[in-house]
Each structure stands twice: as C-alpha cells, then as structure tokens.
Amino acid sequence: MKAAWYTQNGEAQDVMQVSELPTPTPQAGEVLVRLVTSGVNPSDVKSRRARPLSDPLIVPHSDGAGVIETVGAGVSAARVGQRVWVWNGQWQRALGTCAQYIALPDAQAVALPDDTDFAAGACMGIPGLTAVQAVILAERLAGDLRGQTVLVTGASSAVGHYITQMVCLAGGRVIGTVGSEAKAAHARAAGMAEAIFYKTESVPERVKALTHGRGADVIIDMDFSTTARWAAEGALAAHGQVVCYGSNALDVSMPFRPWLFQSMGVKFFLVYDLTPSDRVRAVARLSAMLAQQQLQHSIGARFALDQIAQAHQTVESGQTVGNVVVDL
C-alpha cells in the first residue's frame, strides 16, 4: 500500500516520506479499511514536530474514512463493503490513517451514511467527536442548553464549527470568539448569534454587554490559558460551567478567588481517552446527526498523498477555514 510516514521529529518537508509499505492484516476483532480520505488535525502536526516516537516508523493521522475490505476472526462478514469513518487511528498506535489501508478494532470503524461523503467522514474522529462530547458534558453540567448562552472559543475552528451547530441544535445561543471577518462569517453560517473579535476586543466586556452583565451560562473552550482569566473577569456567569478540550499553554495560572466566590466549575476531557460509556454515547449521537443530515461540513483544503508536507504546513499556518483532508 502507498503511505506517508516519518522516522524522526521535524518539519514536514524534512521528515515526511511517501512510499510503499506492507498492507496490514486484520487480527481477531479487527477490520481492514481501504481508506479514501485522511483528516489532518493540529494534534497530528504537533506529534510529528515534537512527540517522541513510540515506534521506529510512524504513519500519522487518527481520522479517516473508507470502505471495509475484509474482517478478522470474530467480526461479522456483513461488515465487508460497509462505508465507515474511523476514530483513534493513530492513538497509541504506529500506523494511522495516512495510508491506503488501516487495520483497527471493529468498534473504531463506524458506519458512514451513504449521503455523507468520505471527506466529511474524515472529519468525524477528532473534530466531530470532540464537539459532540463537549456538548454532552455541557448538558450534563449545566442542564438543558435550550435558552442558555454558550460562549464558544474558536467558533470558526474545525471543532468550533461543529460545536456551534450542535449547541444551536440543542436550542442554545452561541457567542463565539473569532480572529477575522471571514471566520466570523463562517461561524455565523453555522448558527453563531454574536461574534467577538478576540484580537481587538475585550472578550469579558463584550460577553457581559451581550448578556446584560451576567456572563455566559457555559463556555466551551479550546484554550484554557486565556479562558481561565476571562471567566474570572466576567465572561462566565456565577455558577457557570466551562468544558475545556485544549490550552495553548501547558502551565496555566488560575485566579482562584473569583472562581471560588462565583462557584464556577470546569471539566476537562481528552477526546482520545473517553470512557467506554461516553464513547458509545458520543458516537451514537454523532451518528444520529449524520443520518439526519443535521450537520454542515467544511473542507477548507484537499491534498493528494504526495502533497502530505503541504497538507501539514496548511494546518500549521492556521489560516485555512475548514478541515484539511488528504485524498488517498
């Protein structure tokens, strides 16, 4: 099979290679997926640049979509020929989705509706599941989101775009932080009610102005290193909740007194490491949205496998609106 791979950390143009590798064989409980697309996420490029290698050779990317070609022992033969999207393709594994084939556990290949294309399928594993789990946790902590105001940081990002849609589907009102007018238009098309331009505006002051001084009921957050301060300065209502899936800084100073005296809470989660029950719930809810065609999908750039370095560079630049996909 043709695949992209690297054997050391570094810049994409220096370490990424494309060549033939052995096609994997599905073991008991596994399926072999002939991949059509592979999704490129920020975590993939961060891993390539700096995460110590777990194996001598790494095929990157956790997300992808394709067709089950064969199955291992114990897996129903009825799955052969099924269109699927995959999750955790390269989580704690050497061989991810940036290849023409991947063998992985049966549960990690989820049925993809016929009317959802493979490019969208390659966006489900990290962007889609992160978004749906964030909304599930927001509902668990804050109750029914109908009528509640939710601040979505990075509302135009790959994850934020899906979060915005899902909060709106749940009846919530989305205020989003964005970095440009183009990104604001993208988020508004997904249902965002109000934009805050975080580079030029005070986010806490704008949130308070948009909520009659109260603050947002919930913040769904991609960067706790800034949101910890914003919440303490009024962006979050008393007894409000933050659901967080990322931070631009690993060491975060938290103004404890405002958080304590306003009884605010925070829940962190890592999409790769959901509990089995949370994973089942998130996959089921996302699958239902796909089946009902409730989601908009945004593909910002597509590349051929031979252009893998350019695909990684595009993600690193942070300038593309929408997901980056590699066609296999």
Give the CATH number for residue 48: 3.90.180.10
Q: In terms of residue numbers, what domain contains 56? A: 2-123+297-327
**Quick one: pLDDT at residue 106?**
98
> 243 and 114, same structural domain?
no
CB of 63 within 8 A of CB of 122? yes
| Shared-domain flag, residues 169 and 187 | yes
213 lies in a domain?
yes
**What backbone phi and psi angles, to 5 degrees, belong to 310?**
-65, -35
pLDDT of res. 319: 85
For residues 264 and 229, the answer to whether their CB atoms sit within 8 Å is: no
140 with 258, same domain: the answer is: yes
- How much is the pLDDT for 212? 97
Q: Judge if 22 and 102 occupy the same domain.
A: yes
How much is the pLDDT for 239? 98
238 and 186 share one domain: yes
Query: Strands 83-86 and 109-111, how do they pair?
Result: antiparallel
Q: What is the mean pLDDT of each run of 10 residues along the chain (328 residues)?
A: 98 97 98 98 95 95 98 98 98 97 98 98 98 98 98 97 98 97 97 98 98 98 97 98 95 94 98 98 98 97 98 93 96
Count structural domains, the chain. Answer: 2
Q: Does the residue 168 lie in any domain?
A: yes
Nearest 10 degrees: Cα torsion 12, 15, 20, 26: -80
140-198 per-position pLDDT tens digit: 999 999 999 999 999 999 999 999 999 999 999 999 999 999 999 999 999 999 999 99
Predicted local confidence at residue 171, as pLDDT: 98
Rounded to two decimals, the pTM is: 0.96
Residue 191 lies in a domain: yes
pLDDT of residue 156: 96
Is 59 among the domain residues?
yes
Same domain, 130 and 264: yes
Considering the domain architecture, whether residues 170 and 106 belong to the same structural domain is answered as: no
In a domain, 65, yes or no: yes
Are 193 and 305 part of one and the same domain?
Answer: no
Of the candidates 6, 125, 99, the one whose C-alpha atom is nearest the C-alpha of residue 54 is 6
Same domain, 223 and 97: no
**Per-residue DSSP letter, 88:** S
In a domain, residue 194? The reply is: yes
- DSSP state letter for 299: E
Determine, yes or no, domain membership for 279. Answer: no
pLDDT attached to residue 188: 98
Q: Note whether 94 and 157 are same-domain residues.
A: no
117 and 142 belong to one structural domain: no
Asked if residue 210 is part of any domain, the answer here is yes
Residues 97 and 144 in one domain: no
Radius of gyration, alpha carbons of the chain:
20
